[in-house]
Amino acid sequence: MSSKNFSMTTIRKIEIANFRCIKKLDWVPSEGMNCLIGPGDSGKSTILDAIDLTLGARRQTTFTDADLHGMDPTQLIDIKITIGALGDELKDYDLYGLYHQGWAGDREELEDEPGPDLETVLTVRLQVAEDLEPTWTLVSERAAAQGATRDMSWGHRAANAPTRLGAYMAQHFAWGQRSVLNRLSTDRAKASAALTTAGRLARDSFKGKANDEVNNTLRIVTEVGEEIGVDVGEVQALLDVQGLSFTGGTIGVHDANGIPLRNLGLGSGRLLVAGMQRHAGGESQVALIDEVEHGLEPYRITRLLHCLGSKEGDPGPQVFMTTHSPVVLRELASDQLWVVRKAQAGNARHTLSCPGSGAQSTVRACPDAFLARSVLVCEGKTEIGLVRGIDLHRQSQDMTGINAHGVLWADGGGDNAFARALAFRRLGYRTAILRDCDKQPAEADRKAATEQGIDIFEWSAGNATEDEIFACVPEGSIAKLIEIACDWRSEDAVDANIKWASDNAIGIKECREAFTAEMRPFLGKAAQKKGASLYKDVDPAERIGREVVGPNLNACGSLAAVINNVFAWAEAESDLPPEADDGAAR
């Protein structure tokens, strides 16, 4: 293979039909980092496998009925992947001119013929019919009209194959055919000569050493030869010339103690292979990584992502990865993420949606929520804690937790709640808002949320969450609310807040010993004192939900009505299939 003027081959378009859980998918990925997120059965791993199977360098690939969409043998697996940034040899007109196509990046459209304002590209196609035998071809209407067909040459396919950083990385720590080490090496001829010499030395060293152990067998071979007239002479046990075949894969990298690096843990192995791939360069730096966080501590996740080019100004190598880790989401830019959605009723197409740079603050603030099926945007930490606490109490009563329905809460950041809810909804998440009602949102925000199908749950008119709690809980629970506030702040701080809220009419002593209904508004106001709030964090609000509101919900009036509606909304997801392991459901 020539090394002249190689570019980094880049995937421009992916088209998948009838492969596993994907009926139809058309996707134009980014040039650099592409991180797929979504529920466990949405097809993230299937997309990575489609790339690997179509562009990978394999002599044999086995398909089963499980790879067919709906296990329907009448549905042809048809995967087309268009690659651009071609090196000189793939641009060679004599080799591939009939199969060259044109890519209009600004329009994200593919033309069958190259043109002056189009990038020259090739489209590789993998088809699997009812007999489960795969065929790889290059796509061209012009070639089809002439009855011509071909695939990329084996050398070009091997040079442009993506690197899979998965559980089976041992191949990259030996000089095998598809190893990254091969792309790093310049002295392959010398290594081949050394392997040939090593084979001969091994045969010479073994010569005669096994004769004593198999002497009786050797004698029988000689006697049988004489009986049937086959002159074999004096036979001996030697290493077979063909059986002892040293190849590049025989040489592996070992540490100072002679331990092979293929024994490294999964996380360390991924880090090292990713680094070697970046250093190797060559025609292809497309990398595929399923569950990128697997086997790595958070700080090493960050290191791996940096090694893969997550922070590069230019696109850098093209990476396709999946994740279920909020650490990964915090580290990546929002325009490096793609939310995978399964086909909905009445529409056979899978979709991938990119949050875009406008959603960066939402990704940073609420990374966990992007990994759920449905999102409850709570106005702030108090509302999150309250819902968490009530949910924990419900679970203690053998009720299904809200997370089991695929729902996760997200911090709306106060006034940003509607903007964040809209960001989730536009990406296809089923979304609701739980908010205070002490300050009305802009009418345009409420209208936009309603039009997008976002459910809005809010307390009684004019009430903040603290107002609603103190207005609705049974009288016998007031002392417990005060106790939680004292544990979180201090008795003196709570007393000072109550006196401030009531203009010194009452203090903590009166609330404990002579509580009346008229004290409820003062306590609600005291809990919200700016700079000295009593519950404005997840932990104290969670205690309120678990120890006070949850056990007494039926006696909490309007508060109970809102909470019951929130949980009814969450449980409406129960008719969806449960989360499945992505490797199994694919």
Q: What is the pLDDT of residues 405-417, one digit of tens each?
A: 999 999 999 989 9
Does any domain span residue 271? no
* Cα 242–Cα 244–Cα 248 angle in degrees, nearest 5: 105
**What pLDDT digit, counting tens, does each position of 417-428 carry?**
999 999 999 999
Residue 175 gets which letter from DSSP?
Answer: T
Question: Binning pLDDT at 50, 70 and 90, where does residue 279 land?
Answer: low
Question: Binning pLDDT at 50, 70 and 90, where does residue 222 land?
Answer: confident
**Whether residue 386 sits in one domain with residue 340:** no
Residue 162 is part of a domain; what is its CATH number?
A: 3.40.50.300
Does any domain span residue 197? no
Does any domain span residue 203? no
Does any domain span residue 570? yes
Question: Binning pLDDT at 50, 70 and 90, where does residue 58 land?
Answer: confident
**How many domains does the structure of the chain reveal?**
2
**What pLDDT digit, counting tens, does each position of 501-528 carry?**
999 999 999 999 999 999 999 999 999 9
Does any domain span residue 100? yes
Given a cut of 80, whether residue 264 has pLDDT beyond it is no
Which of residues 327, 343, 362 is at a domain's end? 362
**Whether residue 406 sits in one domain with residue 291:** no
Beta bridge mates, 138: 124
**Whether residue 357 sits in one domain with residue 376:** no
pTM comes to 0.80
**Whether residue 162 sits in one domain with residue 55:** yes
Say how many Å lie between the first and final Cα of the chain, rounded: 36
Question: Binning pLDDT at 50, 70 and 90, where does residue 232 land?
Answer: low
If one compares 358 and 483, the residue with the highest pLDDT of the two is 483
Summary mean pLDDT of the chain: 85
**What pLDDT digit, counting tens, does each position of 375-388 carry?**
999 999 999 999 99
The encoded tokens of residue 547 equal 């120890």
Instruction: Tell me which amino acid residue 196 is.
Output: T
* Cα distance between residue 216 and residue 35, in whole Å: 64
Which of residues 343, 362, 381 is at a domain's end? 362
**Confidence at residue 213, expressed as pLDDT on a 0 to 100 scale:** 67
Task: Assess contact for 510 and 461: CB atoms under 8 A.
Answer: no
Does any domain span residue 444? yes
**Whether residue 465 sits in one domain with residue 345:** no
Question: Binning pLDDT at 50, 70 and 90, where does residue 343 land?
Answer: confident
**Confidence at residue 2, expressed as pLDDT on a 0 to 100 scale:** 36
Does any domain span residue 228? no
If one compares 216 and 20, the residue with the highest pLDDT of the two is 20
**Confidence at residue 178, expressed as pLDDT on a 0 to 100 scale:** 59
**Confidence at residue 167, expressed as pLDDT on a 0 to 100 scale:** 54
**Whether residue 497 sits in one domain with residue 424:** yes
Q: Which domain holds residue 567?
A: 372-575
**What pLDDT digit, counting tens, does each position of 515-561 carry?**
999 999 999 999 999 999 999 999 999 999 999 999 999 999 999 99
**Whether residue 349 sits in one domain with residue 482:** no
Beta bridge mates, 104: 109
Instruction: Scan for tokens 């004292």, then name that residue.
Output: 486
**Whether residue 383 sits in one domain with residue 356:** no
**Confidence at residue 41, expressed as pLDDT on a 0 to 100 scale:** 81
Residues in the chain: 586
* Cα distance between residue 35 and residue 16, in whole Å: 18
* Cα distance between residue 357 and residue 430, in whole Å: 21
* Cα distance between residue 295 and residue 272, in whole Å: 13
Question: From its phi and psi, is residue 179 left (phi > 0), alpha (psi between -120 and 50) or beta?
Answer: beta
**Whether residue 539 sits in one domain with residue 426:** yes
**Whether residue 416 sits in one domain with residue 324:** no
Task: Assess contact for 35 and 321: CB atoms under 8 A.
Answer: yes
**Whether residue 358 sits in one domain with residue 378:** no
**Whether residue 354 sits in one domain with residue 448:** no
**What pLDDT digit, counting tens, does each position of 450-485 carry?**
999 999 999 988 899 999 999 999 999 999 999 999
Given a cut of 90, whether residue 166 has pLDDT beyond it is no
Does any domain span residue 400? yes
Which of residues 362, 380, 397 is at a domain's end? 362
Q: Which range in 189-198, 230-239, 395-404 is most confidently predicted, on average pLDDT?
A: 395-404
